Amino acid sequence: MLNKTLGTLSHSLLGAVLISTLCQLAYADTGSYFIHKDWELACDNTGMCRAAGYQSDAQFGQPVSLLISRPAGAGGAVLTQLQIEEDLVQNMEANLSVGATSLGRVTFDAHKSTAKLSSAQSTQLLKALVGAEDIRLTTQAQQWQISTAGANAVLLKMDDIQKRVNTPNAIYQKGNQSEQNVLQPKAIPKIGITGYRPAVASHFAVDSKNAHQLFKKLKAKTDEQDCPNLYEARFFEDDRVSVYPLNAEQVVVQVPCWRGAYNEGLGYWVMDKALQKIQQQVTTSGSSFSEAQIFSEQKGRGIADCGIRSEWAWNGKAFVLSYQAQSQQCKGFAGGAWNLPTYVAIVARTD
């Protein structure tokens, strides 16, 4: 019903409806993610936005993706790139067209299977997206088609987050308003890993006395749905509790919390070295700990497919978020076509 109604609306009214009905995620310091049909959008904490579109599900066997990137700030330049899922032995040229109009040739790098569009090609391509025209790549041997389904909603969301709606520099809903109120870019935060003094880690069986004593303390601060193994003890035979020293007084404890069809989640808690007091629960969906950083990679649909990636770094007092990215539309690209972060930071050892 919504699609039928939208089809009868004018371009400007459609924009207003999309803002109110589809653009529900407000920009925040931790960024935002938005998905609609064959398109998705990730805007990070600096104000950089990346929109990615793919082929329709009906053309699943020919993976192609278009990435549109723009930093925050007045006059922020738009960068467009294409990617195909092909093992290229050498650089490959393809013709890019919208509708019946050719936009010229694009060259795909053999190492990355990506191609950058010229400024003129980018301008014409964005107009084609807004107008829902066919976008195709063709060679003598193959053809790829980028879906426009969901593009308008995602591009409007990008304009909305960066506060460009009704300005001349908007992608979807252009107007004559000044750019003086557009979202200003923020500096990438810096996280200094300080006070980290690694030592030999200890490991003990999940059915040991030490583990049972620890689990009692962890259950007091952890919900059952977040770490069911603490309550149900559905461990594997080789599961272990690991304790990694952070410094002379603090450790990070690692416990297998849950398992699914394609994923597993490790819980991480900062405690005193005597394992008596919980100082911080970092995550119950972690994957590994290394050099004062905790990493989490959770797949959305299966092995080597898309999902959510998060990282935390030790700043001397606590673990703080240092990176987060997600993609729900791999569409044939193993691990995802693009890096779509919603939070970025610079992490470095400071001592």
6 pLDDT tier (thresholds 50, 70, 90): very low
Phi/psi class of residue 113: alpha, beta or left (left: φ > 0; alpha: ψ in -120 to 50)?
left
345 pLDDT tier (thresholds 50, 70, 90): very high
Q: Is the pLDDT of residue 335 over 90?
A: no
Residue 14: per-residue pLDDT: 32
Residue 62: per-residue pLDDT: 85
Residues 319 and 280 sit within 8 Å (Cβ to Cβ): yes
Residue 187 to residues 28, 41, 318, 326, 343, Cα–Cα distance (Å): 14, 20, 22, 21, 12
Residue 2: per-residue pLDDT: 31
Between 12 and 306, the more confident residue is 306
AA letter at 23: C
Residues 154 and 43 sit within 8 Å (Cβ to Cβ): no
Question: 116-142 pLDDT, tens per residue?
Answer: 999 999 999 999 999 988 899 999 989
Residue 57: per-residue pLDDT: 84
Residue 229 and residue 295: Cα distance in Å, rounded? 20
What percent of the chain has pLDDT above 70? Answer: 90
305 pLDDT tier (thresholds 50, 70, 90): low
Q: Is the pLDDT of residue 230 over 70?
A: yes
330 pLDDT tier (thresholds 50, 70, 90): confident
Contacts of 163 (CB under 8 A, 6+ apart): 181, 182, 183
Residue 157: per-residue pLDDT: 97
Q: Is the pLDDT of residue 60 over 80?
A: no
Residue 301: per-residue pLDDT: 63
Residue 21: per-residue pLDDT: 30
Question: 182-229 pLDDT, tens per residue?
Answer: 999 999 999 999 999 999 999 999 999 999 999 999 999 999 999 999
Residue 24: per-residue pLDDT: 34
Q: What is the mean pLDDT of residues 71-91?
A: 92
AA letter at 156: L
Residue 292 and residue 143: Cα distance in Å, rounded? 47
| Residues facing residue 259 across a β-bridge | 264
Average pLDDT, the chain: 89
Of 302, 310, 311, the C-alpha closest to 333 is 302
pTM greater than the 0.85 cutoff:
yes
Q: What is the mean pLDDT of residues 77-98?
A: 93
Between 333 and 105, the more confident residue is 105
93-132 as b/e: b if 16+ CB within 10 A: ebebbbeeeebeebebeeeebbbebeeebbebbbebbbee
What percent of the chain has pLDDT above 90? Answer: 77
The residue with tokens 């004062």 is: 292
Q: Is the pLDDT of residue 7 over 50?
A: no
Query: Phi first, then psi: what are they for 45, rounded to 5°?
Result: -70, -10
Q: Is the pLDDT of residue 17 over 80?
A: no
Q: Residue 103: CA atoms inside 13 Å, Cβ hemisphere, count?
A: 24
